[in-house]
A and B are shown apart, each in its own frame.
Chain A
Amino acid sequence: MKVLVTVKRVLDYNVKVRVKADRSDVDLANVKMALNPFCEIAVEEAIRLKEAGVATEVVVVSIGPKAVQEQIRTALALGADRGIQIETDTMPESLSVAKLLAKVVEEEQPGLVILGKQAIDSDNNQTGQMLAALTGLAQGTFASEVKVEGDEVLVTREVDGGLQTVGLKLPAIVTTDLRLNEPRYASLPNIMKAKKKPLDVKTPADLGVELRAHTELLSVEPPAERKGGIKVGSVAELVEKLKNEAKVI
């Protein structure tokens, strides 16, 4: 079975996000970029399926400018077999991403598609669901456990009330939650080998998809600065301040 994994290049989670002075967008100049943590979990899960003998090939796909090849190489270093870059200098929105991925699914015919449940930059949590709708495949989102049994995949989902297990007919789409696995580190020899693994570059036009913007980014505002707190000496003082200064009780 072939597993298709999607990866996104995002701002590193250790980096403090800054808004550009003109409020037009987030400032990405010379800041560290990394593999979206949820995508990293997706890659790890696919590799584990391969190690368990369930998957035969792991294909990684990413959308973006040439720089995203860095994240594809990271996934290849972790153990994926080959990569596909869909080259575009724009940052397509979820629906366009899903349309592009649907075409890749059509071409590659994977038995399982694993995506991160969301990317930590735009936090949309949409692409996996949209891809399921466009392809007509079954979806198991927010996975904390994935088990392939015969022509079915059992996905344990993290839902508000606890855990829900769904059985999906393959081929299917799974989106990963944090607790699914703990990704491994890439080793030096594997990083070197990854540089030689095949990586195809396609354009949206090659896939017959026209990227359209349905939303417009008007401005980006940083969160309001928090004001420092004060220490109160007694409960009575606290009540007094809540009543008369904060006027909340």
Chain B
Amino acid sequence: MSEAERESMEFDVVIVGAGPAGLSAAIRLMQQAQAAEQELTVCVVEKGSEVGAHILSGAVIEPRALNELFPDWRDLGAPLKTAVTEDQIYLLKDADSARRIPNALAPKTMHNDGNYVASLGNLCRWLGERAEELGVEIFPGFAAAEVLYHDDGPLKGSVKGIATGDMGVTASGEQGPNYMPGMELHAKYTLFTEGCRGHLGKQLIEKFALDQDADPQHYGIGIKELWDIDPSKHQPGLVLHGAGWPLEGDTNGGFFLYHAEDNQVVVGLIIDLNYSNPWLSPFDEFQRMKHHPLFRQYLEGGKRVSYGARAITKGGFNSLPKMTMPGALLLGCDAGTLNFSKIKGTHTAMKSGMLGAEAVFEALAAGDEGSKDLTAFTDKFKSSWLYDDLFRSRNFGPAMHKFGTLLGGAFNFVDQNIFGGKIPFTLHDTRRDYAELKPASECKQIEYPKPDGKLSFDKLSSVFLSNTNHEEDQPCHLKLKDASIPLSINLPKWAEPAQRYCPAGVYEVVEDAQGKRFQINAQNCVHCKTCDIKDPSQNITWVTPEGGGGPTYPNM
């Protein structure tokens, strides 16, 4: 699509992604505009078919940012209804036994008094309604496919906005019968809030070298299921966390099981993507984990309702890139504001959005024509509780990676509970996640048990529950830089780990009469971005498919 044919629309602010960061930013912008009785046009584009369709999180939510955004959120009916009643922390020793860690010995950041078990998808649906009431234009089903830059004049090189993807392009790249070209959305400021490993955020980080003073970013993959359980086993507000079995060796991660409302529990496993064994399959680790008595006691006799997976930006403070650039801000998990010591990113993402909105609004109210590098944001960020929250947890992840779960946990106890996160030195984790994979021949092959269809399931029946769909006749949205690498390098060296790290069965090495072939089932993709992160050859680039495609998560 040449730019000449595209129509364009002008807004004061364009926001990419209707997640907690983007919606909080939109709401904060409008609140300020109304208070100042100023006209402001704000537009949010969202690749999911509706707000919340692509949102997946645990979640235990700390309401700090929401308290600031809507002090009366309870009266307004925000879907945070289940207050945490009890924290339980376990170390799983093997397939049958677990040791409960007394709460007094757990890092303080793992305590959840005052927090809520909630569906982040539903919180985003609610925030979306509030934003629309305030006059924000939200466009679900429109994916921001490219960043637009000013290409001449004094603003040259600054972010001009985004373009949405073309619709109705066939698999061979031609214009189909219902073809509709993308739109250019121009803005004085564009806020990128795509979530973990946003595909535009990744380009911005590279173009503006935003991460030049930061440690490499680190990621995890979170896999989650929603279950209806036997009402007699249900204890609303009970929150379980822990680590250990089935993960072993240098594979770090942790599980969660939360009792939500309506006799539902959510259960999930987060695995750090710096694991080294290419035979590891996060999906299968999660499936077998559920057979442990700790989970079985709740899930047995229940029914799985939904399934999903999403990568998590977990590098925290040390990996946080510069969040400002001319004409744009990078916010929330797109930058990496998740607090890993609390395993929470919602309150921090929301706060980063609100701070971004304040910086943008103040600039515009003072007559700024846009396209500046809003360093005022950085000052606001540094003097906020968000900065403090992230600073205190800066050692948490690196300690776990350096010392392992037990010693790392002990370090974190000392750092968090005795020094309040301000131990006077900083641990760094400077190796990229994808570079940690060892050759398959040097690693133990893992035999996963077959799913029983009751507690554990196969990948395809799982993806089915994520309500994932993509228009079939469209170009593949998982681009290989070099199509030969999967078979020529990844297969012999790492037994092509994409077959295992993808939680949706997108990647397959199939063998038929013509020999081996690398097959990409892009229709299954749940938009978790793990392939873009973990491919050891960094050969896979995730780009946006046609808007509206992907999972349709309910209550996730």
Residues of chain A touching chain B, judged by Cβ–Cβ distance below 8 Å, are 12, 14-16, 18, 21, 29-32, 34, 182-185, 187-189, 191-192, 228
Contact of B49 among A12, A16, A21, A228 (CB under 8 A): A12
A residues in contact with B122, CB < 8 Å: 30
Asked if residues A30 and B465 are in contact (CB atoms below 8 Å), the reply is no
- Find chain A residues with CB under 8 A from B465 CB: 16
Bound Cα distance from A142 to B84, whole angstroms: 54
In the bound complex, residues from chain A placing their C-beta under 8 Å from that of B109 are none
Q: List 28 A-B contacts (CB under 8 A).
A: A12-B467, A14-B49, A14-B552, A15-B467, A15-B552, A16-B465, A18-B305, A21-B263, A30-B52, A31-B554, A32-B49, A32-B50, A32-B53, A32-B554, A182-B177, A182-B178, A183-B178, A185-B168, A185-B178, A187-B180, A188-B139, A188-B142, A188-B164, A188-B183, A189-B7, A191-B139, A192-B137, A228-B453
A16 engages B164 (CB within 8 Å)? no
Question: Which B residue's beta carbon lies closest to that of A12?
Answer: B552
The answer to whether residues A30 and B125 also contact, given A14-B469, A182-B177, A187-B183 and a CB cut-off of 8 A, is yes
CB neighbors of A among B251-301 (8 A): 263
Total interface residues on B, CB under 8 Å, equals 33
Task: Collect the chain B residues with CB atoms within 8 Å of residue A30's CB.
Answer: 52, 119, 121-122, 125, 554-555
Which B residues have a C-beta under 8 Å from some C-beta of A?
7, 9, 49-50, 52-53, 119, 121-122, 125, 137, 139, 142, 164, 167-168, 177-178, 180, 183, 185, 228, 263, 305, 453, 464-465, 467-469, 552, 554-555
| A33: nearest chain-B partner, CB-CB | B50
Q: Give Cα distance in the complex from A110 to B9, angstroms.
A: 36
Q: How far is the CB of A10 from chain B (nearest CB, A)?
A: 14
Q: Which of B53, B168, B263, B464 contacts A16 (CB 8 A)?
A: B464
By beta carbon, the residue of chain B nearest A225 is B453
CB pair A184 B9 closer than 8 Å: no
CA distance A112 to B371 in the complex (A): 52
> Assuming A14-B552, A15-B552, A21-B228, is B9 touching A189 (CB within 8 A)?
yes
Chain A residues whose CB sits within 8 angstroms of the CB of B53 once the complex forms: 32
Given A15-B467, A21-B228, A188-B9, also A32-B178 (CB < 8 A): no
A108 to chain B, nearest CB (A): 29
Complex-state Cα separation, A14 to B228, whole angstroms: 21
- Distance, CA A12 to CA B469, complexed state (A): 11
In the complex, what distance in Å separates the CA atom of A93 from the CA atom of B167?
Answer: 36
CB distance from A56 to the nearest CB of B (A): 24
**4 further A-B pairs in the complex, CB-CB below 8 A; given A14-B49, A188-B139:** A21-B228, A30-B125, A184-B180, A189-B183
Q: Closest CB-CB distance, B187 to chain A, in whole Å?
A: 14
Q: Which chain A positions have C-beta within 8 A of B168?
A: 185
Complex Cα gap A183–B178 (Å): 7
Residue of B nearest to A21 (CB): B228
A14 touches B467 (CB 8 A): yes
Residue of A with least CB distance to B228: A21
Which residue of B is nearest A28, CB measured? Answer: B554
